[in-house]
Structures are given as structure tokens and as C-alpha cells.
Amino acid sequence: MFTMMNSARLSVGLQGVGLSERATQHALAYARDRKQGRAPNTSAPAGAMDTIIHHPDVARTLMTMRAYTDATRAICYVTAGALDRAHRLTDPAQKTIAQERNALVTPVAKAFSTDIANEVASLGVQVHGGMGFVEETGAAQFMRDARIAAIYEGTNGIQAIDLVQRKLPLSGGETVRREIADMRAHS
């Protein structure tokens, strides 16, 4: 049962990654096409307008969307690797460590990725400006889809309770200490 639920939660986390990626790509395409005003330090001729991707705030927003999306992808990769090791390892001690790591990171991947999808979709609407709420752009649909992902397979609040009450105490806290040590070793 827990294996099935962990797989389902990872799948919903990956849905968050996909929504973030799509919202980012959509906003980027719009920013490359939409002309408005003049960007600072522009080389465009006088009276010409620049595409909004050249405006610093839009560029910053797009970079934030990309960074958030990449972070969700990374935590889902970590979770998928832990899930694979939990299934495939044969040494009982190593298998237990992998199962506990998977148990620890799964609620983080699900909740983080879907919460970030909400943020990225919202930023995508911001890039679209007033057009963000117009159905023809598609940006509003990403926002709706991202919002519902946070309640699939256990709301993100339930994931937080599960993490704090059941996952952090695994093996007397050794699982989370091992995860932190591993992060420090690889940073």
C-alpha cells in the first residue's frame, strides 16, 4: 500500500514539475513575442518597442520560474532514485535505508513540487500581464491545474503532518540526519 501511495505521490510531484515547465515555456514564448515600451539600455531605434523579455523585471521573473522548475525536477529525481533503490536493493540493511529515504523525501517531493507549480504558474500569469487571465493565452489554465495538484494524493498540509510526525522520527531521527549529512557531502 505504501509503495503504491509513494509512487502516486511522486507522480503528482512530477505533475507539478510538468506544470511548472509548461508555464515557464509558455511565458518565455510570450515574452519573446510581446512588444511593449523600451527596455533600459536598448539598442533599438528611437520610437521602436522592445519585446518584454528585454525588460529586467520580466527577465528576472523568467529566471525565477526556471530556477524553481529545476529545483522541483531535482527533488523528484532524488525521490525516484530512492524509490528505485528501495525496490531493487537486496541487502536488507541497505534496503531499509533506501526505504526510509524514500519515505522521507516523498512527501517533500509531492508538496514542494505542487506548491512551486502554483508559484510558477502565478508568475507566468504575471509575465502575461492583463492577458494572463484571458482564456486564449492558456496561462490561467496552468494556474488552475497547478492549484488542484496540491490536493491530489493527500493535501500538502497532510504531507507536512506526515513528514513531521512519521518521517522525521524514522530510526530515531537517523534517517533525516543521514539525509542532511548526504546533502552536505554533495554540496
Alpha-carbon torsion (5, 11, 14, 15), positive or negative: negative
Catalytic residue among 21, 100, 153, 179: 153
Distance between CA atoms of residues 16 and 81, nearest Å: 18
CA proximity to 86, closest of 76, 78, 96, 77: 96
CA proximity to 30, closest of 146, 122, 141, 125: 125
User: Inter-axis angle of helices 2-33 and 139-149, to 10 degrees?
Assistant: 160
Give the helix/strand (H/E) hosting 126.
helix 92-128
Residue for grid cell 500500500: 1
- Annotated active-site residue 179? The verdict is no
Torsion of CA 68, 74, 78, 84, to 10 degrees: 120
CA proximity to 52, closest of 141, 150, 131: 131
Residues designated as active site: 153
